[in-house]
Chains A and B, each alone.
Chain A
C-alpha cells in the first residue's frame, strides 16, 4: 500500500523556472521526507520536515507541510539541468522503522 502519493506524476519545465511537486498522505505522521533519484541510481535524501514544522529550507529547496490537509509540497527554485530526476516523498509507518513511499514525480528540466 502506498501512503504518500505525489502529484503531478511528471513535470517538464524550462531551466531557470521553479518546480513544485506535491505529496499527500493518509495517516498521522511525525515527519515527512523527500528524496531524489537520478536515472538508474539509488535515492538520495533531500530534506526531512517534522510534524511541528510548517516550512523548511535547504539551499534552493523549500518544503512545506500541512498536517490538517495531510499534504506536503517541494519547491525547487531556479531549476537547473542537474535537477532532472524523480522525486519521492516518504512517510514513516507506525514505529518509524519503515518508510512508505509514493510513486514519485518525474521532473525534466529543459535547457
Chain B
C-alpha cells in the first residue's frame, strides 16, 4: 500500500517548455488535489477533482491544466512553463473522511 505517489521528484524546465506531473493513489479515494507550496507560505490549491472524469479550478489555476481519466490518477500539466511556476508541487487525496493524504512532492525549477 504505497498511499500517494508523485513522479517525478525533481525537474528543471526552461521557460516555455511543457511537462506533466503524475499523481497516483491506491486508496480508492474519490477526491484528489494539486497544490503548490512556495517558501514561507502555506499550500495553495491549483485544481482538484471530486471523482473520475471531473476537475475544478482552485485558487491559482492559471497556467495549469489537469485531467482525471482514471480514478487513481490525477495529472497536472504545464503547457508553457514560466519562472513564476518554480515551486514545490504536492498532490493529495481524500476519502470519505475529511483528512487529506499527501504525496512526497515534486520540486520544479523553471529557468
Assess the B103–A42 pair: CB atoms within 8 A: yes
Residues from chain A with Cβ under 8 Å of B40 in the complex: 103
Q: Which of A41, A92, A103 is in CB contact (< 8 Å) with B98?
A: A92
Q: Mark B17-59, 1 if CB is under 8 A from A, else 0.
A: 0000000000000010100000011111100101000001011
Q: In residues 3-43 of chain A, which contact B (Cβ within 8 Å)?
A: 4, 31, 33, 40-43
13 further A-B pairs in the complex, CB-CB below 8 A; given A45-B101, A48-B99 = A31-B98, A33-B98, A33-B99, A40-B105, A41-B105, A43-B90, A43-B102, A48-B97, A88-B42, A88-B43, A97-B56, A99-B43, A101-B42
> Does B8 touch A at the CB level, under 8 Å?
no
Which of A's residues lie within 8 Å of B, judged by CB? 1-2, 4, 31, 33, 40-45, 48, 88, 92, 96-99, 101-104
Residues from chain B with Cβ under 8 Å of A45 in the complex: 99-101
Q: How far is the CA of A83 from the CA of B11 in the complex (A)?
A: 29
Assess the A42–B102 pair: CB atoms within 8 A: yes
Residues from chain A with Cβ under 8 Å of B45 in the complex: 98-99
Cβ of A33 to closest chain B Cβ, rounded Å: 6
Assess the A1–B105 pair: CB atoms within 8 A: no
Residue of B nearest to A99 (CB): B100
Assess the B98–A97 pair: CB atoms within 8 A: no
Q: How far is the CA of A45 from the CA of B98 in the complex (A)?
A: 10
Q: How far is the CA of A88 from the CA of B56 in the complex (A)?
A: 24
Cβ of A47 to closest chain B Cβ, rounded Å: 9
Cβ of B45 to closest chain A Cβ, rounded Å: 6
Cβ of B79 to closest chain A Cβ, rounded Å: 24
Given the known interface contacts A2-B42, A97-B48, the answer about A42 and B58 at a Cβ–Cβ threshold of 8 Å is no
Q: How far is the CA of A101 from the CA of B105 in the complex (A)?
A: 17
Residues from chain B with Cβ under 8 Å of A33 in the complex: 98-99
Residue of A nearest to B104 (CB): A42
Q: How far is the CA of A95 from the CA of B43 in the complex (A)?
A: 18
Residues from chain A with Cβ under 8 Å of B104 in the complex: 41-42
Q: How far is the CA of A43 from the CA of B41 in the complex (A)?
A: 13
Residues from chain A with Cβ under 8 Å of B56 in the complex: 97
